[in-house]
Amino acid sequence: MASGSRPVSELDDILMEQRLSALFQPIVASNNQTIFGYEALIRGPSDSPLHAPMCLFDAASRAGRLVDLELLAREVVIREFGHLQLPGKLFLNITPATVLEPRFKNGQTLIYLEEAGIDPGRVVIELTEQHPVDDYDLMREAVRHYREMGFAVAMDDLGAGYSSLRHWSELRPDYVKIDRYFIQNLHEDAAKRQFVRSILELAHGLGCKVIGEGIETRDEYRALLHMGLELGQGYFFARPNLNPPRSVAKVLENGAGIQRPGLRRFSDTVASLATRVPPVAPQLPLAELAANFHRHPDRRSVAVVRDGRPLGLIHRQELMNVLTSPYGMSLYGRKPVQQFVRRDVLVAQQNMPVEKLSQRITTANDLHGDEDFIITDDAGDYLGIGTLMALLRKITDLQIHNARYANPLTQLPGNVPISEYVDQLLAEQRPFAVAYCDLDHFKAFNDTYGYARGDDVISATARVLLEQADHEHDFVGHVGGDDFIVVFRSGDWRRRCERLLTRFSEVTEPLHDPAHRAAGGIHATDRSGRHVFFRLLSLSVGVVPVRPRQYHNHHEIAAVASEVKRQAKHIEGNAIFVDRRFEPQPTDTPASLDLDGMEAEFSPA
């Protein structure tokens, strides 16, 4: 009896003295790889047998004090979240059973939030599934109650527990968390990937966001990114902490090439957003600027520029507020505009990709939705003014354009964006290299193992290409089937292609059965109906280096790329074949393999 009473006494002391600690673990948004919010986790005293949450809540449940513990946990979490001034949303764990108990205090959470200065719209009530719930009428009523208070609702551990799929159907949460079992080693398990794909498709149809929890490795995160996961959580980003990180940028930089495939789409630069609004000099009287605004009623702001360099902006509305105040014109009309310029404005260079600007704005805490920003040339001189609305329209147009032509399996850009990008580089007279990548023996592999494993090969190839591409300069596209295009603007494209072949073998060889790996290939029927031995999958890459004024359009480059790719496929195993016809050949150094000015660069065994 004494041993059973100690946890109860310990629990009473914890509740009375409020000896709970709040830990926070970041939830990362995949679209811009910033922190979307934090899940709050509660802990008992570190020197107590009730430190672990499972022990703590089990003791409270046995003692009939679960409601008391839940309310205290909320108070502690919300107070600490406000104290730390953490960005994004707060995911607050709630045990469904306590919501339905008569002793539960409705509206108490709102009081805690008001005291901490936190908007209820930032809170997500996360329903944890620790016990079976049979009364769905009451559960739906509880969910409705929370939504009326302005909270969103999340469901935890989808795929585990008692009846999580029915919970999803009955409660229609705003977020669902995929159980960590389906995330662990997902990149090596086709069945888990198929489960996650199904959940993502279902969530898309229901208008629900999916969070993958328990992400611990770079490979798991890459696989989830490739499948289109919106939100991720796990030790890979950060462990639960009393003072959690505000950014995961360093973690992702150290992840060597982790990027969402959708970021490498056909893009545009900030220069396309510039409106050529003539600037004004710092010494211009305020009254003359007001007259300028009067002559141009569509202008919302004007840049103040000295010697070509922007000092900041003056907004129409702010100027009118000053001049229309009592005695405003007489007091301020003759004063120079430089005394009223807003210097804390966003400045973006013309060559910055619009997606990068969007990420910069999204992560800023001090910008308003109606603000304008300054656009400069590469030297930092004033070029024009951009608006957030124009940026939003541009991003939306690009997303629609990319989605229209994206490959449905890899989500990489298809033929139209590839051709547009190549023509754009030709028009700008920039040097680049086009690599045409084609899988060898893929039909035999697909016929032997089935389309599901074939899809895994295609997806793995896309990931490898994205890994080896430079995220700032290179462009990865999917022509269709097992054909891919990489447009390299990075100068070290040869080294990247060599690494690509090595990495391709590492990734695709395990997708063959052990017996086929031991035999070095598979027996399958060829296109003529003959039974033939095919070697393991390999990759042939034909590269066309392009210099200014060598080609007129993408059609010419595509014809040459197809030719050099065919030459690469004549070489057994992984191979790179480079077009040399426009390069001067040294007379004293014969090429290792030269066919009408083309040379095999690399062919590992």
> pLDDT, tens digit, for every residue of 427-466?
888 899 999 999 999 999 999 999 888 998 999 999 899 8
CB 124 within 8 A of CB 37: yes
Rounded to the nearest 5°, which phi and psi values hold at 123?
A: -105, 135
The reported pLDDT for the residue numbered 7 is 58
Q: How many CB atoms lie within 10 A of CB 317?
A: 11
Rounded to the nearest 5°, which phi and psi values hold at 29?
A: -85, 125
The reported pLDDT for the residue numbered 367 is 52
Q: Is the pLDDT of residue 474 over 50?
A: yes
Q: What is the end-to-end Cα distance of the chain in Å, rounded? A: 72
Q: What is the CA radius of gyration of the chain?
A: 30
The reported pLDDT for the residue numbered 102 is 63
CB 217 within 8 A of CB 235: no
The reported pLDDT for the residue numbered 540 is 96
Q: What angle do CA 506, 512, 516 make, to 5 degrees?
A: 115
The helix/strand/coil state of 525 is strand
- For domain 270-394, the CATH architecture is Roll (3.10)
For domain 2-258, which CATH number applies: 3.40.50.300, 3.40.50.1100, 3.20.20.450, 3.40.50.40?
Answer: 3.20.20.450
As a whole number, mean pLDDT of residues 74-94 equals 93
CB 494 within 8 A of CB 283: no
The reported pLDDT for the residue numbered 587 is 41
Q: Is the pLDDT of residue 590 over 60?
A: no
How does pLDDT run across 30-59, given as a tens digit for each residue?
Answer: 766 789 999 999 999 888 888 888 888 888
Domain assignments of the chain as residue spans, ordered by start = 2-258, 270-394, 406-602
The reported pLDDT for the residue numbered 495 is 92
The reported pLDDT for the residue numbered 136 is 66
The 3-class secondary structure across 436-468, one letter per residue, is EEEEECHHHHHHHHCHHHHHHHHHHHHHHHHHH
As a whole number, mean pLDDT of residues 326-339 equals 89
Give the domain 406-602 fold: Alpha-Beta Plaits (3.30.70)
The reported pLDDT for the residue numbered 187 is 83
The helix/strand/coil state of 48 is coil
Query: Exposure of 451 by Cβ count < 10 A (0-12 exposed, 13-18 middle, 19+ buried)?
Result: exposed
Dihedral (Cα; 360, 364, 369, 372), 10-degree rounding = -60
The reported pLDDT for the residue numbered 589 is 35
The reported pLDDT for the residue numbered 100 is 64
Question: Looking at 390-530, which runs of residues are DSSP E strands?
Answer: 432-440, 475-480, 483-488, 521-525
How does pLDDT run across 87-116, given as a tens digit for each residue?
Answer: 999 999 887 667 666 676 777 889 999 999
How does pLDDT run across 290-304, given as a tens digit for each residue?
Answer: 999 999 988 899 999
Percent of the chain with pLDDT over 70: 84
Query: Exposure of 172 by Cβ count < 10 A (0-12 exposed, 13-18 middle, 19+ buried)?
Result: middle
At 8, is the pLDDT very low, low, confident or very high (cuts 50, 70, 90)? low
The reported pLDDT for the residue numbered 405 is 76
At 162, is the pLDDT very low, low, confident or very high (cuts 50, 70, 90)? very low
